[in-house]
């Protein structure tokens, strides 16, 4: 066998785009439909248009391409989106090296299958919002989370100009040009306890910025880093509450999942819950606002939460 026969035919080495097709086919069997759609978006909207026609060797030889992509991405996408893109690209590269059933993607799929969908008891959530053992700003952020059901990325890409508190029914436009979920928006009614929490965050922003927050200022990231899962668990423990369920620690998305269950238990129909939580627009970025703001406000009014700066 001569040397030429031992060389790999570069034309037969798949491009990153071709590898992505196999990767997504495997991931579709491993993760939830929503998680798969998000990975599809990270790849097809932001990664593959820049890197897709390169073969793996070309990509790895040019060490500037990936940092350049994420520098560019950071100018138009929020940080959580960039981090998620980076994770998916890393998984795709590993899948290209080890095959579609790579250790990382298989482990991720198993973790998704093994971890139960946890619901935080509503009494636990209320105690978290009122406990003086939890810092005021974080209690306010938790109040916004439980009162809106917003995704973490939506919360931390929201600007002050997205609040409409003078409207007959106060509301918040989530994802108004900043969302990393398909760049679409929806209106979320703001219950009284959420309005009180937003006032606390507004005052904190004023102190942090040494001026009144402008409409384009981010609600939360101007104050501090976003709440992380370990912070949520520490705050639950500080309030004398369990930080896990069935030996699985709570994560931030459990709050959003719990809001859906609390509304269901209160008798709110699935169509209204989907509209309130944005489920109906996640799939392909199409906004069809058929559920009125009044109907969603009536639904969220059934959540028995209270919030005050003094705690309780």
pLDDT of residue 265: 94
User: Long-range contacts for 245-253 (Cβ within 8 Å, ≥24 apart)?
Assistant: 245/116, 245/118, 245/119, 245/120, 246/116, 246/118, 248/115, 248/116, 248/118, 250/118, 250/120, 251/118, 252/145, 252/152, 252/227, 252/228, 253/151, 253/152
**What are the per-10-residue average pLDDT scores of the chain (312 residues)?**
44 81 84 82 92 86 85 82 85 74 47 63 92 91 91 79 92 62 70 94 89 87 56 86 72 85 93 82 44 91 89 64
Q: Which residue has the tokens 């990975």?
A: 39
pLDDT of residue 248: 65
pLDDT of residue 116: 63
Sheet holding 171-174, edge to edge: 163-164, 171-174, 186-189
pLDDT of residue 284: 38
Query: Where does 149-288 have alpha helices with state H?
Result: 152-155, 192-209, 229-238, 253-265, 270-277, 279-282
Taking the C-alpha atoms of residue 24 and residue 305, their distance in angstroms, rounded to an integer, is 41
Provide the residue ranges of all domains of the chain, joining segments of one domain with +. Answer: 13-114, 122-300
Decide: residue 23, CB within 10 A, 0-12 exposed, 13-18 middle, 19+ buried. Answer: buried
Contact status, residue 57 vs residue 25, Cβ threshold 8 Å? no
122-300: CATH homologous superfamily?
A: Intergrase catalytic core (1.10.443.10)
């Amino acid at each position: 066998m001569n040397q030429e026969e031992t060389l790999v035919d570069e034309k037969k080495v798949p491009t990153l785009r071709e590898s992505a097709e196999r990767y997504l086919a495997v991931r579709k069997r491993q993760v939830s439909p929503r998680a798969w759609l998000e990975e599809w978006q990270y790849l097809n909207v932001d990664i593959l248009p820049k890197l897709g026609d390169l073969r793996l060797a070309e990509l790895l030889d040019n060490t500037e391409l990936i940092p350049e992509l994420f520098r560019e991405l950071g100018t138009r996408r929020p940080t959580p989106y960039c981090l998620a893109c980076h994770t998916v690209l890393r998984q795709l590269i590993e899948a290209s090296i080890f095959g579609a059933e790579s250790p990382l993607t298989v482990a991720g799929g198993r973790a998704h299958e093994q971890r139960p969908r946890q619901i935080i008891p509503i009494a636990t959530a209320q105690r978290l919002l009122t406990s003086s053992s939890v810092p005021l700003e974080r209690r306010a952020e938790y109040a916004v989370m439980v009162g809106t059901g917003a995704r973490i990325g939506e919360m931390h890409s929201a600007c002050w100009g997205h609040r409409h508190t003078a409207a007959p029914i106060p509301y918040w436009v989530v994802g108004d040009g900043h969302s990393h979920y398909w760049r679409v928006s929806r209106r979320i009614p703001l219950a009284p306890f959420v309005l009180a929490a937003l006032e606390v965050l507004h005052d904190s922003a004023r102190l942090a910025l040494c001026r009144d927050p402008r409409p384009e200022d981010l609600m939360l990231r101007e104050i501090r880093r976003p709440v992380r899962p370990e912070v949520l668990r520490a705050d639950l423990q500080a309030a004398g509450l369990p930080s896990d369920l069935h030996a699985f620690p709570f994560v931030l998305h459990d709050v959003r999942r719990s809001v859906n269950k609390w509304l269901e238990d209160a008798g709110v129909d699935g169509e209204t819950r989907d509209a309130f939580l944005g489920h109906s627009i996640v799939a392909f970025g199409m906004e069809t606002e058929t559920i009125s703001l009044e109907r969603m406000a009536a639904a969220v009014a059934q959540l028995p939460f209270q919030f005050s700066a003094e705690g309780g």
